[in-house]
Amino acid sequence: MPALSSDTMEVDDDVSGLLWSVNDLDELSKLIAVIALGQAQHAARIIQELEPHGPALSDAELYAGAKGQMRIRGESETQRDVSRYHRDGFLFECISWIVARQSTNDRTFLKDPHITATTQGLDGLSIEMDPIEAVLVMATIFEDKCTESPRQKFQQEVLPTFTEHHESKRKRGLVANAVSLIKESGLNGTAATQAAARVLDKQFRTYRAALTVGSTLTTTERRKRLFKGYSDLANITKAQRIGATFVIDGNLREWFQELADRVLNALVEFEDADV
């Protein structure tokens, strides 16, 4: 059974809904531990059941850095809050990446989760290539927000970011990231750049917003209100506007603290096994 499930949920006539849930928290923790070690590509092989659990390479500094990313730092409450938000954002970005990786094939290439705190650039990008030809089939832009205020985040951060992409205001960054991923398909730099041209065409672009939500936001009507405004991204289909929700039953920060603790335990177990 995969670590996470992604089930289709109704939103409205303009948005395709997904509901994410955890099947196996220990499995999820181990995958995130491998990603935190800077080995997302190896984690992809584990998800495909092509490699056993555990890192592909081990080093004391890698473990120290990964463990540090799971811990809250700062001398003041404000500093600790910022550290927590960055840490939880990384964990949710990993969840988003794992969900995407579980549902793709070997001709789909994903931007790795950030292993350093950042508020710049793309949260995530997926490039799907034709199974035979050197042609881009679809590019999916991800925006993932771990938040207690999902509607506010969608309205004030996610939608404006998607709108900038939709209005072709972030072309250079999108092309550069697409080229890096397309090169993984075996194309050389120039051919990869030429293949990336389709990311500029709305016909070949999907947007996927993923938000943490409380257990009360589980009805179709509430999901519709959550993603209100998505249809402002005009001249694309419902399938190209994805709204994913990850339901947390209880306190959001406490849930992610438990996940971080489990990732730390997995890192310790991996490190001890290499001694």
Does the pLDDT value for residue 50 go beyond 90?
no
| Average pLDDT across the chain, whole number | 93
pLDDT band at 216 (very low <50, low <70, confident <90, very high): confident
Q: Which of 38-42, 216-220, 252-256, 264-268 shows the lowest per-residue confidence on average (mean pLDDT)? A: 216-220
Nearest CA to 242 out of 7, 2, 1, 3 is that of 7
- Both tokens assigned to 99: 């969900």
Pairing of strands 108-110, 124-129: antiparallel
User: Per-residue pLDDT averaged across 91-103, rounded?
Assistant: 96
Contact between residue 155 and residue 145 where contact means Cβ atoms under 8 Å apart: no
H helices within 15-58, ranges in order? 25-36, 40-47
Q: Which of 40-54, 58-72, 163-177 shows the lowest per-residue confidence on average (mean pLDDT)? A: 40-54
